[in-house]
Amino acid sequence: MLIREAMVADAEEIAIVHVDCWRTTYKNIISSDFLDKLSYGQRTELWKKNISGDGNYIYVAENNEGKIVGFISGGKRETNQVEDSGDLTAIYILENFQRMGIGKRLIKELFFKFEGLGFKTIFVEVLEDNKSRYIYEAFGAELLKTEKIKMAGAELDLLVYSWKDISPVLL
């Protein structure tokens, strides 16, 4: 498994992972009608912009055949007003490649970047019903708050976690 920085040429493969993961991760959480309407093309354009954008840090996990099977993104969102902090904005790994340590490797790669940027606190938001949230807890993130959000016509609980010290994750 190779972990590397994303390039604009990766946008289409990242979009496929993104859409496919939404369809498996959020099944029975978000309406199937909404999930069915997700578009690889729209997500490809989104990821081209994300990869090209300043302050966005995106890493991909490639399998032995050179196929992208997961990715992570982060940076500092405009809404984040906490000094010396960053945001883990997305991490998705195809279902067949989960529980193989890829998530840990992706998180470490992003957090090494954050450490180099001088970020002391890292935030991540995740839907309460998303079972992958436990990876954050396993890596020492603490729950800060729960808030209600509207997504795809439903009211859902959003959990906000933070790491006040990322050094244990980097070991």
Residue 154 belongs to some domain of the structure = no
Residue 135 belongs to some domain of the structure = no
**Beta strand pairing status for 85-93 and 121-127?**
parallel
Residue 166 belongs to some domain of the structure = no
pLDDT digits (tens, 9 = 90+) for 81-115: 889 999 999 999 999 999 999 999 999 999 999 99
Read off the CATH number of the domain in which 35 is found: 3.40.630.30
130: nearest Cα among 111, 114, 149: 149
pLDDT for 132: 85
User: Could you tell me the pLDDT band of residue 153, with boundaries at 50, 70 and 90?
Assistant: confident
Give me the domain span that covers residue 67. 2-120
Residue 17 belongs to some domain of the structure = yes
Residue 76 belongs to some domain of the structure = yes
User: Could you tell me the pLDDT band of residue 159, with boundaries at 50, 70 and 90?
Assistant: very high
The count of structural domains within the chain is 1
Residue 49 belongs to some domain of the structure = yes
81-84, Cβ contacts within 8 angstroms, sequence gap of 24 or more: 82/121, 82/123, 84/118, 84/119, 84/120, 84/121
Contact 168, 46 (CB under 8 A): no
Percent of the chain scoring above 70 in pLDDT: 100
Strand partners, 158: 127, 147
93: nearest Cα among 131, 127, 128, 129: 131
Average pLDDT over residues 119-143: 93
Residue 152 has pLDDT above 90, yes or no: no
**Whole-angstrom Cα distance, residue 95 to residue 57?**
23
Average pLDDT over residues 146-167: 93
User: Could you tell me the pLDDT band of residue 75, with boundaries at 50, 70 and 90?
Assistant: very high
Average pLDDT over residues 41-54: 96
Residue 105 belongs to some domain of the structure = yes
pLDDT for 79: 85
140: nearest Cα among 121, 158, 157, 156: 121
Q: Which residues of 98-121 are buried (b: 16+ CB within 10 A; e: fewer)?
A: beeebbebbbbbbbebbbeeebeb
Distance of CA 163 to the CA centre of its chain: 15
Lowest mean pLDDT among 37-41, 75-79, 102-106, 127-131: 75-79
pLDDT for 68: 98
Average pLDDT over residues 137-149: 95
Average pLDDT over all residues of the chain = 94
Residue 46 belongs to some domain of the structure = yes
